[in-house]
Structure 1
Amino acid sequence: MESIQPLIDKAHELIQRADQLQSKEPSVRSVPKLSKRIKAELNFLHTLQSGDVELKENQLQSTNLTHLEAVLSAAESLPGVSDIFSAKHATDEKGNQKTLVIDVIANHGAIWVKVTARRGHALYRVWQGEGDYGDKDIVEQALEYNNFASSNPVKFIVPKVHVMFLKGLPSEVKGELESVGIATHGHVLSNTDDHRIDVPCFDWSVLKELKVIHAGDPRRNRVNLDVSTMIAMTSNLTHNGCWFDYPECLLINDQAIEERHHPQLTALYDILKGKQLFACSTAITIYKDIVGNVAGPMEQARAKMLLTKVRIVDDCVSKRTQELGWSNKIKERPKIIFGTGDALEMVTVSANGSFIRSASKHNITYAVDLHQSRAFTERKEAQAVTIKKDDAFKRINLEQILRDLLNPS
């Protein structure tokens, strides 16, 4: 029973670390799922310790704690972690849907991580076809990650697969994985006798700066603007018009309150900096109509300035968007706008989160950067009540955004 207590202590330590990760990085999804798995291992160890179940040595050797600790360490070390044990879906050549659970997703979706805590010598034996029944070849597992990554692009870019080898990486395995574009990390074993020596502890610190760069990919430099985004970029509300109370319109008043605390042009600047602006014909037609009927003089002047920097493309709706059924939340206009961005492989910038959520219920995920909605307000300022300006932000205006575009025309 003495051999069980260190494992129980380790489980308690991992639960505490998982709680700390959840507190420090609340945006990381599925940390509770990781905690649940650790607690299940802990309950199993308590059952063994109680003597209710006959203790066998292989039960302690087969505990998942080592793997769970490795996944947690990866989540603590990698930059931009968004999910742990994330279920991804793909369709095989026969049309059947398959599911694969990814250990860690990092770099805001651009990196998929597979962690293995098996000894390098054991991995080598399985790779050679000498493993026991049920043993999984790490190369086959990594290739499956690669196949699923191809079916789950993030903003049209296929995620890069990385495999972390905690207890040694056979050089032959390293060579095969890297030949198909899979990155490897771990102490390289130069020959099969290396299993006799202790492998250095895995250095998690080297992962903190791990990133994927797609500088040469033009899809990273183009964005498709929704009508809601063009309105937000040119509204008085985002140009110091938030320092009013709008008692006649609760919706605009709520947006003014939001804008005081969350300036949307700052968020949009981060999205649009270094990008080329595109919009489909339908979006431009609708935007011009709204500007002509609702916008005030300064808002109209900004709209004219913005449109000189936007390249107009013909409506070109992707096939999957055409097949998307109509509903109260899925209407023709957003289908055209998002469908065009989808067909031309451009990220769509929008405040229309309801369309995105509705589409996801039909298993369609669009490449999108969402922001808060802002309305035209200049004509309503005459009836609004001026409030004291107490601004803690250095606000950005439309001119600054347009100045820092990629090769603005």
Structure 2
Amino acid sequence: MDTDTDLADLVAEKIAFGEALLERTKNYKKLEGMPKLQRNLKQEIKFLEKILVNRSYKKEHLQCSNLSHFTAVLNVLDTTKDNVSVMKVFKSGAARNVTVDIVCENGLKWIKVVARNPKSLSQISMGDTSYGSRSVIDKARDFVAVSKQFPRLFQTPSVIFSFANGVGRNLAAAIESYGIIVEGERVEDDLFCLEEYDEEDENENISSSALSTENADEIKKVNLDISAMLAYCSSVTNGSAGLFKFDVPILTQVAKCELQRPQKPILDQFFEGKTLYCCQTAYDSFIEIMNTIGGPEEKIRGDKLLENVKVLPDNASVEDTDDFETTEAFSNIQYTPDKEIKVGGQITERSLKVFRFGDRIRAVTVSANAGFVRAAMQQGVNFVVFLHESRALTEQKELEKGSIVGNLL
């Protein structure tokens, strides 16, 4: 997939594959909701045809295609009986509405089909994602709550999560703790917080430390990413890692990772003797996340951290800082118009603002967002970064779900 011709061929293959899926749906043309699935398929095919004709295709278009999900839905549909509907929306007054991919066995079973990479699913469930993104565990809670509002034959429908590409053992156990049946191959997920990988880099075995800029410690200005501020203030990085055992195994695993490799001492050592900055976008996002899911002590630590952080506009430049001195690290990798980064996949608008801010003020960006750094490198832009392991806010979960234990190791 290195050349324009290769990409074009792959897009054409995707189109042919989509048309074959559309043909398969005719076997279920009388099933409620199938016209909706067919419309979605046609829209996906139409989009692929358009970018093929205009030669505007990108690698991300293939990675983010919904065809894999539609394929998984049809594969499961081929194995179920007494099917009632597909893509059925159940509206709830108290909980979030849910879309059930397959309602079968005369309404007694609800099936949610998940086609995402198992590593990605586990990372999101551990909090390694942008604010607002919802994990499969969040969706599990929604399905259980809503299913109770729609009994069938005086019974609450059974909820099944079917993982087409497998699911981590810990994540599967967490989902099953809500009474949901988990289908799909179980894979090991206890290493997900040791190294940070992209779905496309599973075989590259690149660690966060390897992605950090060489001699980054010599730069005396630090640009704090949201992930760095959250990790610094998290309860799990401030002494609680060995105190709690959760009913959700994923959270226990995060604590184990912290016990093995404490992150706050690493950040403290890196921050020593440096001036801390953050852009307005990072500041606003950090405050919003902290106000939403932060615990009492985490909020106090957040306030103390911000007392030592200089907040500047997103478009600030080096002249707006106290130290105009630049370093050799920025000489060849400065973000410039001829190095435009395209948003998509791991490159989000918010992350791009944060990293560009650090680049402009000539500060090393401290972050856990290895996915962004790697995706930028693939587009030819190497930001000046110091990467650490991801840690989420945990205090609220400790208060709600945790129980005191002796030691997790």
TM-score, normalisation: structure 2 = 0.44
Structure number with higher relative contact order (C-alpha < 8 Å, ≥ 6 residues apart): 2
Q: Which has the larger radius of gyration?
A: 1
Q: Normalized against structure 1, the TM-score is what?
A: 0.44
